[in-house]
Amino acid sequence: MRMVILGAGFGGLELTSRLSEELGDAVDVVLIDQSDGFVFGFSKLDVMFGRAPAESVRHRYADLVKPGVRLVQSTVRAIDPVAKVVETDAGRFETDVLVVALGADLDPGATPGLVEAGHEFYTVAGAFALRDVLDSFAGGRVVVGVTSTPFKCPPAPSETALLVHDFLVERGRREQSEIALVMPLPVPIPPSPAASEALLIAFAERGIEWHPGCAVDALDPDRRVAVLSDGTGLPFDLFLGVPVHRAPAVVEEAGLTVDGWIPVDPLTLETAFPGVYAVGDVTSVGTPKAGVFAEGQAAVVADRLIALVRGEDPDSTYDGRGICYLEFGDDEVAKVDVTFRSGEAPHGELLGPSAELAADKAAFGSSRIQRWFGREWSAT
Ligand SMILES: Cc1cc2nc3c(=O)[nH]c(=O)nc-3n(C[C@H](O)[C@H](O)[C@H](O)COP(=O)(O)OP(=O)(O)OC[C@H]3O[C@@H](n4cnc5c(N)ncnc54)[C@H](O)[C@@H]3O)c2cc1C
């Protein structure tokens, strides 16, 4: 059976690893990605705040050697989900099974003024560039702001506000600074009241202003003011933004999306096109856009494909569960164990924050690099 997997991010890497581990050379898997390597979302924050050097957090695809898997570094230009044919800069691929794991694209240009007057910390380039910007920031008014929903890793803006606080304290610049956090959500983490409460307490203790239920619509570069969706404005010296997210254009052009994202069967991750699956941020499966959910979905698709190859009935289904780590600053991390199941209100338990859970999070990162790339790695 031929399988083509588009995107070697959290979802694509997990899927490929499981297929190779179970089936080895018995399958013909082509994994296509345009980048030269993988970077964890949380590593972006580590580099930005000077906790890890940029070169230590990039995991090169050239190191990915797995039986049955061929990695093609190329850009996907067209997808035909009916014929199951993919056009790339490296040629055309015909397949029996197609898995779309292309994630969410980020569009800083969609928010007027963001590129000219602010910074975004969601792309690898944007987060890495912020390291120097933060180093030379003398203090002042910092606004961390989200421009629209949905956005990846809903805890990340809250984590960023807390880490900005620590960063400024360590450099003796906190007293001459103010920090504000603008989010279009009513509470920091809607599925977990306990985590939201703990974050709101942490913001209050650190003097971080919390602006819920609002998005940043634009930045006014002349006045250096963030224009919020409720019509008010927040002045800033340093703006750290979460840009607009959208499905990659190639996915939309393929006719795979409805209302911007790929609808899938929430249990099997199959799209409306037989033999075409989608996992992770590119879908509208109902979980937040986060790596742990992409990974869980990829695991189910892997189980189902492995069963098909073995001539068995696929019975693995997606349970919507994921464990999210949450940086609280002060070298402490909390953990939210959350389940999103179709037809049920999501619920999430909070553990920590504690130094032990910071070690737990580092072990989570290391275990993925071990499984995906077959080498040791120590996350911060
Ligand atoms: C600051 C930050 C912190 C985060 N922290 C966490 C966290 O602590 N825990 C967590 O679970 N998640 C976290 N996330 C979210 C996480 O990074 C994403 O949700 C996750 O990577 C999604 O996985 P995916 O497989 O769907 O897509 P991705 O991992 O984004 O992979 C998509 C891949 O597709 C490739 N691609 C896209 N278009 C094309 C094309 N046309 N041709 C070829 N290749 C293409 C890309 O190069 C990319 O490698 C964080 C994100 C950010 C920004």
Summarised one tens digit per residue, pLDDT across range 3-58 is: 999 999 999 999 999 999 999 999 999 999 999 999 999 999 999 999 999 999 99
CA of 145 to the centre of ligand 1 (A): 20
Distance CA 74, CA 344 (A): 40
pLDDT at 160 over 80: yes
Q: What is the pLDDT of residue 325?
A: 96
CA of 50 to the centre of ligand 1 (A): 21
CA of 171 to the centre of ligand 1 (A): 31
Q: What is the pLDDT of residue 183?
A: 98
Inter-residue contact 216 to 181 (CB < 8 Å)? no
Q: What is the pLDDT of residue 175?
A: 97
Distance CA 140, CA 236 (A): 8
Distance CA 110, CA 128 (A): 21
Residue 289 near ligand 1, beta carbon < 6 Å: yes
pLDDT at 149 over 90: yes
Please provide the distance, in angstroms rounded to a whole number, between the alpha carbons at the two ends of the chain. Answer: 40
CA of 10 to the centre of ligand 1 (A): 6
CA of 291 to the centre of ligand 1 (A): 7
* Residue closest to 103 by CA, chosen among 298, 259, 363, 318: 298
What number does the ligand 1 atom closest to the CA of 293 have?
A: 11
Residue 291 near ligand 1, beta carbon < 6 Å: yes
H or E segment to which residue 69 belongs: strand 69-73
Residue 248 near ligand 1, beta carbon < 6 Å: yes
pLDDT at 307 over 90: yes
Residue 334 near ligand 1, beta carbon < 6 Å: no
DSSP label at 377?
Answer: -
Kind of pairing between the strands at 244-246 and 105-107: antiparallel
Distance CA 127, CA 129 (A): 5
Residue 257 to residues 289, 327, 363, Cα–Cα distance (Å): 16, 33, 35
CA of 185 to the centre of ligand 1 (A): 21
Our measurement of the distance from residue 337's CA atom to the centroid of its chain's CA atoms, rounded to an integer in Å, reads: 17
pLDDT at 147 over 90: yes
Residue 9 near ligand 1, beta carbon < 6 Å: yes
Residue 33 near ligand 1, beta carbon < 6 Å: yes
Residue 295 near ligand 1, beta carbon < 6 Å: no
Span 79-97, average pLDDT: 98
pLDDT at 63 over 90: no
Q: What is the pLDDT of residue 349?
A: 86
The band of 76, judged by pLDDT with boundaries at 50, 70 and 90, is very high
Distance CA 240, CA 130 (A): 9
The closest residue, in CA terms, to atom 51 on ligand 1 is: 41
Residue 146 near ligand 1, beta carbon < 6 Å: no
CA of 259 to the centre of ligand 1 (A): 20
The closest residue, in CA terms, to atom 22 on ligand 1 is: 291
